């Protein structure tokens, strides 16, 4: 790749700027000298804003007291797992999965049980049934998903909900890519299927992806009171509140979601998918959401590159294109490509990938 620029399609965050209103609220918070602790669970104004978002976007009825603002969705997820499970419990994690889920489950002392998924990378009721045991405490749903972009439809969630209720499971539902959805209707939440489901669900979300504020660390859980109280106690001893500046900024962000930038990802998905699908030996589903493509490259593996790890390492060395191997996501025959980059970069990277695959 002598002299060729590195084209990095491995990054898992949006490439547009954060909303100006979020910056303005942050500046105002600093200028007004708001520098004290806040409530462990977050400032009331932010929790009320989240309550309104959950009602408007997700048709969910929560009180501000059901919400805990955490240091990013990652921290919110860890709070959820810590509150729900411990030693001898099992948590079902559908594969391909975001790398953090099994690791966080293990940190609680519980066992992650990796579940296979169906055609479109979604967990079906039948597949869920095959992995439930008396020790199962919870199942993780990530919609749209990292790394596959797979998104659960309402009928799929209804089928899963029946199994969840019959076995008395909890659902940890990670909706962090919710706004990156290219279907006609919003991403449904399993909690919106009825009060029994809402009672068994911990919603996880935040402003990291939707408002391109990954560095600000604002996420949250919305959960039944008993779980929220546990999370409150955990967070009170572990970290206390999220930075007050970031909390006010998050209100500004939620008041000015950058929809035009978010929607600009759909043509990039179509472009990248079209180009990938034309490469011989690459098989790729059209994802309904997130900003990743997760093609199967099994046919390109062989003597030169035996695994997707070797494939990505060789691709980087030969062409300067950075992708993520599927092994860390529990899908070793796949690679993850993020299209949250400028179109010329995407096109150049796909040209190089096509040439590499042909050789």
Contacts to ligand PLP by CB under 6 A: 12, 72-74, 98, 142, 146, 174, 176, 206, 208, 214, 219
Q: How far is the CB of 102 from ligand PLP (least distance, A)?
A: 13
Q: How far is the CB of 89 from ligand PLP (least distance, A)?
A: 21
Q: Which is nearer to ligand PLP, 72 or 325 (CB)?
A: 72
Q: How far is the CB of 280 from ligand PLP (least distance, A)?
A: 30
Q: Which is nearer to ligand PLP, 75 or 352 (CB)?
A: 75
Beta-bridged to residue 111, according to DSSP, are: 90
Q: Which is nearer to ligand PLP, 225 or 239 (CB)?
A: 239
- Reported as type and span, the H/E element at residue 275 is helix 265-277
Q: Which is nearer to ligand PLP, 157 or 348 (CB)?
A: 157
Distances (CA, A) of 91 to 73, 86, 105: 18, 10, 7
Q: How far is the CB of 246 from ligand PLP (least distance, A)?
A: 11
- Say if residues 61 and 189 touch (Cβ distance below 8 Å): no
Q: How far is the CB of 214 from ligand PLP (least distance, A)?
A: 5
Q: Which is nearer to ligand PLP, 96 or 188 (CB)?
A: 96
Token pair listed for 287: 């994802």
Q: Which is nearer to ligand PLP, 115 or 348 (CB)?
A: 115
230: Cβ contacts below 8 Å, ≥ 6 apart: 82, 83
Q: How far is the CB of 212 from ligand PLP (least distance, A)?
A: 11
Q: Nearest residue to ligand PLP, using CB?
A: 72
- What does the alpha-carbon distance between residue 130 and residue 322 come to, in Å, rounded to a whole number? 37
Q: Which is nearer to ligand PLP, 176 or 249 (CB)?
A: 176
Q: How far is the CB of 114 from ligand PLP (least distance, A)?
A: 16
Q: Is the dihedral of CA 340, 341, 347, 353 positive or negative?
A: negative
Q: Which is nearer to ligand PLP, 176 or 223 (CB)?
A: 176
232: how many CB neighbours lie within 10 A of its CB? Answer: 16
Q: Which is nearer to ligand PLP, 144 or 320 (CB)?
A: 144
145: Cβ contacts below 8 Å, ≥ 6 apart: 96, 98, 121, 151, 177, 289, 290
Q: How far is the CB of 359 from ligand PLP (least distance, A)?
A: 32
60: how many CB neighbours lie within 10 A of its CB? Answer: 18
Instruction: Estimate the share of the chain in helix, then strand, then coil, as percent rounded to the nearest 5.
Output: 45, 15, 40
- Say if residues 305 and 282 touch (Cβ distance below 8 Å): no
Range 125-128 contact pairs with CB under 8 angstroms and sequence separation of 24 or more: 125/159, 125/160, 125/162, 125/163, 127/94, 128/92, 128/160, 128/163, 128/164
- Say if residues 205 and 176 touch (Cβ distance below 8 Å): yes
Q: How far is the CB of 323 from ligand PLP (least distance, A)?
A: 16
């Amino acid at each position: 790749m002598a002299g060729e620029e590195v084209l990095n399609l491995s990054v898992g965050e949006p490439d547009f700027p954060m909303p100006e209103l979020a910056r303005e609220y942050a500046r105002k918070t600093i200028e007004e000298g708001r520098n004290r602790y806040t409530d462990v669970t977050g400032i009331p104004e932010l929790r009320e804003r989240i309550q309104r978002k959950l009602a408007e976007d997700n048709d969910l009825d929560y009180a501000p007291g059901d919400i805990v603002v955490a240091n990013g969705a990652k921290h919110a997820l860890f709070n959820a797992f810590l509150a729900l499970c411990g030693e001898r419990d099992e948590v079902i994690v559908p594969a391909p999965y975001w790398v953090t889920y099994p690791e966080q489950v293990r940190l609680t002392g519980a066992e992650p049980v990796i579940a296979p998924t169906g055609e479109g990378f979604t967990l079906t009721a039948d597949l869920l049934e095959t992995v439930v045991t008396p020790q199962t405490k919870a199942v993780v749903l990530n919609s749209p998903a990292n790394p596959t972009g797979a998104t659960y439809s309402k009928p799929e969630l209804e089928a899963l909900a029946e199994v969840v209720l019959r076995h008395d499971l909890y659902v940890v539902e990670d909706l962090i890519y919710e706004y990156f959805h290219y279907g006609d209707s919003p991403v449904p939440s399993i909690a919106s299927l009825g009060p029994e489901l809402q009672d068994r669900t911990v919603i996880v979300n935040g402003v990291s992806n939707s408002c391109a504020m990954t560095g600000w660390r604002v996420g949250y859980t919305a959960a039944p009171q008993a779980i929220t109280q546990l999370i409150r106690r955990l967070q009170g001893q572990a970290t206390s509140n999220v930075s007050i500046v970031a909390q006010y900024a998050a209100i500004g962000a939620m008041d000015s979601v950058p929809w035009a930038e978010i929607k600009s990802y759909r043509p990039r998905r179509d472009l990248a998918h079209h180009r990938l699908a034309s490469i011989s030996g690459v098989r790729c589903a059209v994802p309904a959401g997130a900003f990743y493509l997760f093609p199967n490259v099994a046919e390109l593996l062989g003597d030169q590159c035996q695994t997707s790890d070797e494939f990505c390492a060789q691709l980087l060395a030969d062409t300067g294109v950075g992708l993520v191997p599927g092994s860390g996501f529990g899908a070793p025959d796949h690679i993850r490509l993020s299209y949250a980059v400028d179109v010329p970069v995407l096109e150049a990277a796909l040209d190089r990938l096509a040439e590499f695959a042909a050789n």
